[in-house]
Amino acid sequence: MAFLVTARKYRPQLFSEVVGQEHIVKTLVNAIRSNRIAHAYLFCGPRGIGKTTTARLFAKAVNCPDVREAEPCNTCDTCLQISEGRHIDVLEIDGASNRGVGEIRNLREGVRYVPTSAKNKVYIIDEVHMLTPEAFNALLKTLEEPPSHVIFILATTEPHKLPPTIMSRCQRFDFRRMRVDEIVSQLKHIAKQDGIHVEEDALVTIARKADGSMRDAQSIFDQVVSFSEEGVTSVAVRDVLHLVDREYFFRLTNLIKEKDTRGGFTFVEDVVSSGYDIQEFLIGVEEHLRNLFVARSTGETRLIETGEQERERYKEEAHNFPESDLLRLLNIVSNAKQSVRFSSQQRIVFEIAVMKMIKMTSTVELHDLINKLGSSPDAPSADSSRSGSGNETVSPGLFNQVSEPGKSNYASRKTVSRPAPVSMRGDSEPVLGSIAERWTQFAKNVQSEKRTLGLNLGLCTPVTVKGENINIACNDEFCMQQLSQEYELIRKQFQEYFGINLVPRFHVAQGTLPGAPTSSSDPPHPIVKTIIDELDAELLP
Domain ranges of the chain: 6-174, 180-241, 257-359, 369-394+423-535
Provide the percentage of residues in the chain whose pLDDT is more than 70. 82
Residue with the bigger pLDDT between 242 and 406: it is 242
Looking at CATH, the fold of the domain delimited by 180-241 is given as: Helicase, Ruva Protein; domain 3 (1.10.8)
CATH number of 369-394+423-535: 3.30.300.180
Contacts of 376 (CB under 8 A, 6+ apart): 398, 399, 401, 409, 451
For residue 515, what pLDDT is reported?
46
Give yes or no for a contact between 369 and 399, defined as CB atoms under 8 angstroms apart. Answer: yes
| CA gap 225, 237 in Å, rounded | 9
- DSSP letter for each residue of 393-435: ---GGGGG--PPTT--TTTTPPPPP-PPPPP-SS-HHHHHHHH
43, containing H or E segment: strand 40-44
Q: What tens digit of pLDDT does each residue of 382-418 get?
A: 344 333 433 333 333 333 333 333 333 433 334 445 5
What topology does CATH give the domain 257-359? Zinc Finger, Delta Prime; domain 3 (1.20.272)
Total-model pTM = 0.64
Whole-number Å distance between alpha carbons of 322 and 334:
19
Does 492 score more than 70 pLDDT? yes
Confidence of residue 476 (pLDDT cuts 50, 70, 90): confident
Given a contact cutoff of 8 angstroms between Cβ atoms, the answer to whether 409 and 444 are in contact is: no
Of residues 148 and 467, more confidence is placed in: 148
- Predicted confidence at residue 404, as pLDDT, reads 39
| 386 SS3 class | helix
pLDDT bracket for residue 166 (50, 70, 90): very high
Q: Say which residue, 454 or 415, is predicted with more confidence.
A: 454
Confidence band, pLDDT 50/70/90 cuts, at residue 465: confident
Beta strand residue intervals within 188-262, DSSP E: none
Helix, strand, coil shares of the chain as percentages rounded to 5?
Answer: 55, 10, 35
- Enumerate residues 6+ apart whose C-beta is below 8 A from 253: 288, 289, 292, 317, 320, 321
pLDDT-derived band of residue 420, with 50, 70 and 90 as boundaries? low
Q: Is the pLDDT of residue 229 over 80?
A: yes
**Across 480-499, average pLDDT:** 86
For residues 295 and 507, the model is more confident at 295
Confidence of residue 481 (pLDDT cuts 50, 70, 90): confident
Task: Determine the distance from the C-alpha atom of residue 72 to the mean position of all C-alpha atoms in its chain, rounded to a whole number.
Answer: 44
Provide the CATH number for the domain formed by 6-174 in this structure: 3.40.50.300
The residue type at 165: T
Hey, do 257-359 and 369-394+423-535 end up sharing a CATH topology, with the first three levels equal?
no
Pairing of strands 171-174, 503-508: unpaired
Instruction: Report the distance separating Cα 182 and Cα 212, nearest Å.
Output: 9
Chain-wide mean pLDDT for the chain? 83
Mean pLDDT across 439-448: 87
For residue 533, the model assigns a pLDDT of 63
| pLDDT, tens digit (0-9, with 9 covering 90-100), for 328-359 | 999 999 999 999 988 889 999 999 999 999 99
Closest by CA to 490, choosing from 442, 528, 437, is 442
| Percentage with pLDDT > 90 across the chain | 52
pLDDT of the residue at 10: 93
**Residue pLDDT, tens place only, 499-519:** 888 888 888 876 544 444 444
Query: Per residue in 135-153, pLDDT tens?
Result: 999 999 889 889 999 999 9
- The answer for residues whose C-beta is within 8 angstroms of residue 338's C-beta and 6 or more apart is none
